[in-house]
Amino acid sequence: MDRHFNAIEFHQWFEYMSRRIFAPAKAGTVRESKWFYERARGQYQDAKAYLTAAKQREFDAEYPKNQLMSKTDLGKFLNVWEFKPDLVSRGAQTNFASFANGIIKDWESDRNQFSEEYFRRSISKAIIFKEVEKLVPKQTWYEGGYRANVVAYSIAKLAYDIDQLKLAFDFSKVWTPQSISNSLSDILAVSAKAVHEVITDPPSQLGNRSEWAKRAACWERVKKLEIDWPEPLENLCITKKRDNELVAVGKKDQDMVIGIDAQIKVVNIEASIWLQLKEWESSRGILTPPEQNALRLAANAAVKLPREQDCRLAIECLYKLADLGSEIALDQKKSLMI
C-alpha cells in the first residue's frame, strides 16, 4: 500500500482522536477539555476564524492554546520515550522524518496498536515534555541555553532507567490529573541537572555543545549516568505485564472500531462505484475469489450490510485497485483520506 497514504491515515486518525476524546478536568476545574492536533499548519486558527466572539470563547475553553500540538511536536514528544534524545536534538524536521518513517512501519504492521490507549499515552508524553520545558529555566543551576537538549535528554534518561528496571511508566498518573506530580517534577529536575552537566561538557576535540548533543556518543554517556533519584523510580511504574495488558485491551477495542469504520465506509460508497470496480477488476483478474466476493457484497450493502471482515476486505481491495491503476478506486481512496 502507498506509504504516503499510510502517513496521511495516521495523522488523520490522530486528528480525529484529538477532536473526539475529552481529557479529564484538571484540579480546581470542572470542565473537561481537548488537545488540538494540527494535521496541517494553521488548522487551529482556521477553526476559529469565522466564529462569533461567544463561540470563540467556547472554542478556547474546549481547546486551550496550551493544548495545541503540531506534527513536529508529536515527533519530539514520542521520540524521547524511544530513547532518541540525540535525534530530537538534531532539529524538528530531521527528527520528524525519522518519526514519520517509524510510524508508517508500525501503521503497516498493526494499526490496531493505534488505540485510545495510545492516544492517551501520547498526550501524557506531551504534558511531561511541556512541563519539563517550564521546569528547566526555574532551576538554580540553569544559566541559559541548550534548554531543548536538556529537556529531551532528561526525559529520555528517565525512560531509559525505568526500562532498565524492566518496568513501564504509569502514564495514567499523568493523563488523569493532566499534570505531573510534585514527586515526578522533582525526579525530572534531578535528571535535567545530571544531563545538563554532560551536555555542557563536550569532548575537547568537539567543543560545540549543540553539536555534542546531536551525537550518539552524548546519549551513550548519559545512559551510563548513575543518578541518585530523590525517590525510587518504581513508584512511577507498573509492571511490564500490566503494561502489555493495557496495550492489548486498547488493541482489542481499536479492532472493533476499525471494523465498524470499514462498514461505514462501504455503505457511504455508492453501489454503482463498487460495481464499476468489480467490472474493472474482472477484465484483469487481479483479485482472489474472496476479494472478488467482498466487492460483490459491498455493491449489495444497501440491501444487506456485509460483516465487518468483509467490509475491511472490500476497503483493502479498493486501496489495492487504486495502487494498481484504477482511477475510480484512486478517486475513492483520496476521498477517504479527507
- Digitized pLDDT (tens) for each residue of the chain, 338 residues in all: 455 556 778 898 899 899 999 999 988 788 899 999 999 899 999 999 989 999 999 999 999 999 999 999 999 999 999 999 999 999 999 999 999 999 989 988 888 899 999 999 999 999 999 999 999 999 999 999 999 999 999 999 999 999 999 999 999 999 999 999 999 999 999 999 999 999 999 988 776 888 999 999 999 999 999 999 999 999 999 999 999 999 999 989 888 888 888 899 999 999 999 999 999 998 888 899 999 999 999 999 989 999 999 998 999 899 889 888 999 998 888 777 54
Identify the H or E element spanning 238: strand 237-239
Neighbours of 279 (CB within 10 A): 11
Neighbours of 284 (CB within 10 A): 11
Which DSSP symbol is given to 230?
S
Neighbours of 27 (CB within 10 A): 8
Identify the H or E element spanning 109: helix 92-109
For 84, counting Cβ atoms within 10 Å of its Cβ (0-12 exposed, 13-18 middle, 19+ buried), the class is buried
* Contact of 218 with 210, CB cutoff 8 Å: no
CA distance 225 to 209: 18
Neighbours of 262 (CB within 10 A): 22
Span between the terminal Cα atoms of the chain, in Å: 17
The pLDDT value given to residue 254? 85
* Contact of 146 with 196, CB cutoff 8 Å: yes
User: Whose CA is closest to 121, among 83, 165, 175, 168?
Assistant: 175
Please give the grid coordinates belonging to residue 21.
476524546
CA dihedral 248, 254, 260, 266 (to 10 degrees): -120
CA distance 291 to 295: 7
User: Whose CA is closest to 298, among 310, 280, 290?
Assistant: 310
Question: Residues near 103 by Cβ (< 8 Å), separated by ≥ 6?
Answer: 7, 10
Please give the grid coordinates belonging to residue 213.
548533543
Please give the grid coordinates belonging to residue 334.
483520496
